[in-house]
Amino acid sequence: MKSRVGSQGSLEEGKDTVNKVVINQYKPLSLRLLQFLLLFLGLAIVFSFVSMYMVRYSVVQNVIPMVQSRFQPCFQQLSLERWIRPPSNLLHSMNDSQLFWRASIVPQIKQYPFNRTRKIAFMFLTRGPLPLAPLWERFFKGNEKLYSIYVHSLPSYNPDFPHSSIFLDRQIPSQVAEWGRMSMCDAERRLLANALLDISNEYFVLLSEACIPLHNFKAVYHYISKSRYSFMGAVDEPGPYGRGRYNPNMTPEVNITDWRKGSQWFEVNRKLAVDIVKDEKYHPKFEQFCRPACYVDEHYFPTMLTIESPGLLANRSLTWVDWSRGGAHPATFGKADINDQFFKRISDSPTCVYNNQPTSLCFLFARKFAPSALGPLLQHSTKYLGF
Ligand SMILES: *[C@@H]1O[C@H](CO)[C@@H](O)[C@H](O)[C@H]1NC(C)=O
Ligand SMILES: *[C@@H]1O[C@H](CO)[C@@H](O)[C@H](O)[C@H]1NC(C)=O
Ligand SMILES: *[C@@H]1O[C@H](CO)[C@@H](O)[C@H](O)[C@H]1NC(C)=O
Ligand SMILES: *[C@@H]1O[C@H](CO)[C@@H](O)[C@H](O)[C@H]1NC(C)=O
């Protein structure tokens, strides 16, 4: 009781002192204010007379455009520029429903009424740091007009890229993504949706922090932009790890004959990116009926796109990976693996089909590489990677 009264008392005291101070200051303050107001009024009257005089003698001709341009932001007219300028900042306050809705808006006229540069969006799905960033920086250098970068990392991760880094401020608002779960596909959709906000992005490549490019930028851009198909792995695999993961409850949206399996690491064009982001038909089915041991990130996009746009798919991935050691995870390569033999092995892979023709150039990217591989990769990048 005592302490409460005491504190109340001191509060009252505090109020009194504040009041006194205010009262003491009031008189001179209000006088000064009045003087100031009168002065201002006088100036305003003088100014309006002067400006009327100037308008009458049209001296003002030069002044009006100046005033207009200074206040332009207030009366800015809609211009095409507003719709084609990429967002200046990747941070935004949209949640996924709002973002996906916005990203799924598509122009209905095929021809763009301006010179559109078709960029590749490189989307890095990571846990935290990007240890191979220096190699990617070298890969991108000099091609600034033809790519954009997006990074999705754990929300708890605080990136610290140097000021000169191309990865600086390329983080998108992220959420936790778990392997084999729908949250992983949602993270990929989030990357696509953010990248779709830039109308210049035409191709969308998903990468991880353990990926490297196998060729220089020019070769990668040419290969992707000249392809008639998008590189989404999609195979109809019999057996327990393929069709065996299908759940009959997915009908009628998904039939067993539609069921596909493919690597998570894809390249899709803008149309397929929108298909993925706008999907409300298949998402609930996969979320409900494809749970471990059905790894949804291996089935959702390949199956959905096979139903929706089979004619646009190359049905293979551009990302080389080594499963030969067996087990649940592919092999990781470190410092000791970066040698002639290793890169010969990658380029000696079986032939594949590119624009309906057989080719031996099947992969543009490779995984998985440990941070220790960075040194030798940088040292021999000209020899092994062509940049
Ligand atoms: C996003 O916000 C809207 C409006 O507040 C809400 O209706 C919607 O459910 C939210 N979506 C998600 C995925 O949180
Ligand atoms: C677009 O680029 C072409 C060639 O690069 C040029 O001839 C044309 O005038 C440009 N069009 C516009 C609208 O800028
Ligand atoms: C699945 O597809 C096959 C062939 O397209 C068809 O005969 C069958 O009726 C379909 N099943 C369902 C449940 O839709
Ligand atoms: C990919 O597979 C689909 C059917 O799943 C097929 O329609 C399409 O032609 C295939 N793409 C290529 C390039 O062969």
Q: What is the pLDDT of residue 278?
A: 98
Q: What integer pLDDT is reported at residue 74 of this predicted model?
A: 62
Question: If you measure from the C-alpha of residue 100 to the centroid of ligand 1, how many angstroms do you get, rounded to a whole number?
Answer: 11
Whole-number pLDDT of residue 99: 98
Phi-psi region of 22 (alpha: psi -120 to 50; beta: other; left: phi over 0): alpha
Q: Is 253's pLDDT higher than 50?
A: yes
- Whose atoms come closest to the Cα of 246: which ligand? 3
* Spatial distance between the Cα atoms of 266 and 262, rounded to a whole number of angstroms: 9
pLDDT value of residue 55: 46
Q: What is the mean pLDDT of residues 340-352?
A: 94
Residue nearest to atom 10 of ligand 3 (CA): 255
So what's the pLDDT on residue 28? Answer: 52
- Its sign, for the CA torsion 324, 326, 332, 336, is negative
**CA–CA distance from 315 to each of 231, 267, 295, 341, 344 (Å)?**
6, 11, 18, 28, 24
Query: The tokens of 6 are what?
Result: 């005491």
Beta bridge partners of 357: 354
Mean pLDDT in residue range 124-153: 97
At residue 198 the predicted structure's pLDDT band, cuts being 50, 70 and 90, is very high
3-class SS at 142?
coil
% the chain with pLDDT above 70: 81
Report the pLDDT value the prediction gives residue 134, as an integer from 0 to 100: 98
Average pLDDT over residues 256-264: 97
**What per-residue confidence (pLDDT) applies to 36?**
65
**Closest among 323, 320, 327, 373 to 344, alpha carbons compared:** 320
- pLDDT score of 379: 98
Q: Can you give the pLDDT at residue 48?
A: 60
Q: Among the atoms of ligand 2, which is closest to the Cα of residue 114?
A: 13
Number of helices (H), then strands (E), belonging to the chain: the values are 13, 9
Q: Enter the pTM of the model.
A: 0.82
Share of the chain above pLDDT 90, in %: 76
**Ligand 3 pocket: which residues have CB below 6 Å?**
251-252, 255, 257
| Position 115 pLDDT exceeds 70 | yes
pLDDT at residue 44 above 70? Answer: no
Mapped onto helix, strand or coil, the DSSP state of residue 201 is strand
Cα–Cα distance measured from residue 188 to residue 369, given in angstroms and rounded to the nearest whole number:
21
pLDDT at 328: 82
Is the link from the previous residue into 293 a cis peptide, with omega within 30 of 0? yes
Q: Range with the lowest mean pLDDT among 49-53, 163-167, 312-316, 321-325?
A: 49-53
Judged against a pLDDT cut of 80, whether residue 13 lies above it is answered with no
Q: Which two tokens stand for residue 263?
A: 């690597």
CA 255 to ligand 3 center in whole angstroms: 6
pLDDT at 326: 86
Q: Whose CA is nearest to atom 8 of ligand 1?
A: 97
Assess whether pLDDT exceeds 70 at residue 165.
yes
Pocket test for ligand 1, best of 95, 102, 175, 280 (most atoms within 8 A of CB): 95
Residue 46 has a pLDDT of 58
Strand partners, 208: 125
Nearest to 177 by CA among 193, 156, 158, 154: 154
Identify the pLDDT of residue 73: 57
Q: List pocket residues of ligand 4, CB cut-off 6 Å.
A: 229, 306, 310-311, 313-315
- pLDDT, mean of residues 189-211: 98
Determine which helix (DSSP H) or strand (DSSP E) holds 16, and give its type and residue range: helix 2-56
CA 277 / ligand 1 centre spacing (Å):
16
The two tokens of residue 53 are: 């005089």
Q: What is the mean pLDDT of the chain?
A: 88
Residue 47 clears pLDDT 80, i.e. is over it: no
Q: What is the pLDDT of residue 39?
A: 73
Q: Mean per-residue pLDDT for 134-159?
A: 97
Residues 207, 263: Cα–Cα separation, whole Å: 11
Comparing CA positions, the residue from 207, 112, 96 lying closest to residue 151 is: 207
Residues composing the chain:
387
> Separation of 314 CA from ligand 4 center, angstroms?
6
